[in-house]
Each structure stands twice: as structure tokens, then as C-alpha cells.
Amino acid sequence: MQKEISFWPLIDFQKMSKREIGDYFAEFTNAVPEQLQRLHIDVNRTPGFDTWRADETADSLLDLGKWLSTHTETRMRTPEELNAIKSRLTMDVPISRRDLTDLTIARAARVGIYLAATLHRNHPDTKWTYHVTPRNLADYGQPILSGFPNVDFNPVRIGVVLARGVADGKRGADRLAELYAFWSRQAPTS
């Protein structure tokens, strides 16, 4: 039976103990093959994408980006959600009244995990890890791919931000392949 893995932003890593974070990391990394399989099945069920293969190649990201661009849905935020966001802000910035659906977040997270798996396969000096210090780190406790200079790759955050860009009309189907090319240039070489 498949176990559902919750993804950021649906969980609050700041409220988790270091042990809970370690347990989540183990659960997350153990579930990567299953998440990739679920993505493969989801993509292949879509007319026009039935021949897509999750072969962790740069070329596979072109069609996956097209697929994500047609499978990004939003919903209206509730007044309570908008107020909660406003209460956390330290300056006046516009807040979108729309947010990604939970299904879109799960799909975007799986796309981000696939992108990370593709990077890891083609750049084996990268590795899955997580940080529990400093506590104010943006990726605190979250599974990341490390080994890049100056910054780590947070696959779930990358996938969700990509989906938000698609939903807002600011990013197109080619952005996923562009992200792979960018991160590949940053990757360590053996």
C-alpha cells in the first residue's frame, strides 16, 4: 500500500524536533522511487504523454515541463488564509488571492523530486541531505540535494515555485529544462 508523503508547504518544519526531521528525511528519501513511479503513471495517463519515460535524462524534462504546464490548477484562498499570511509579513507586499491546489502541490513536488533525481543521476557527486542549523534557514529541515556551490537544491520548493510561475503565466513549459541546464552548470565535476 502506498503511503502518502506530505510535502512542504503543507508541513511546518520549524515546529518539528530534530528527531522528527530525521525521521521525515528517511521517509522522504525512501519514498523517492515510489514518488517517481507515481509521477510516471500520472504523466502516462494523460493523452499525448503516454510514451513519456521517467529515464532521468535532460530530454525527458522537455515533455515533463509541457505536462506540468497543463496540470497546474489554482483555488481561491480563504479569508483566514489571507489573514494568516498578512500576519507573518514584516512589510506590505501584494498577496495573491489564488493558491495552488493540494493536488498541484503534490504534482509539482514530484516534478521537483524528478528534477533532483535527474541531477543526482547525472552528477553523482551531489547527495541528499538536510540541515537543522541555523534554525532560520529557508530550507531548515527539508530534504535537499547538496554539492552545489553556495546554495542547495530544494526539489519540493523548486517544483512548487515552478508551478506557481506556470499558474501566474510567468513561466512556460520550457522552464523545467532550463532549470536543469542551470543547475547542471553549477554541479560539481568529478
Give the β-pairing of 144-146 and 127-129: antiparallel
pTM of the shown model: 0.91
Low-confidence ranges of the chain (pLDDT < 50): 1-2
d(C-alpha 108, C-alpha 162), whole Å: 8
Map out the domains of the chain as residue ranges: 16-186
* pLDDT computed for residue 133 by the predictor: 87
The pLDDT value recorded for residue 5 is 59
Single-letter residue type at 180: Y
pLDDT for 1 equals 41
Instruction: Please tell me the predicted confidence (pLDDT) of residue 22.
Output: 95
What is the model's pLDDT at position 8?
52
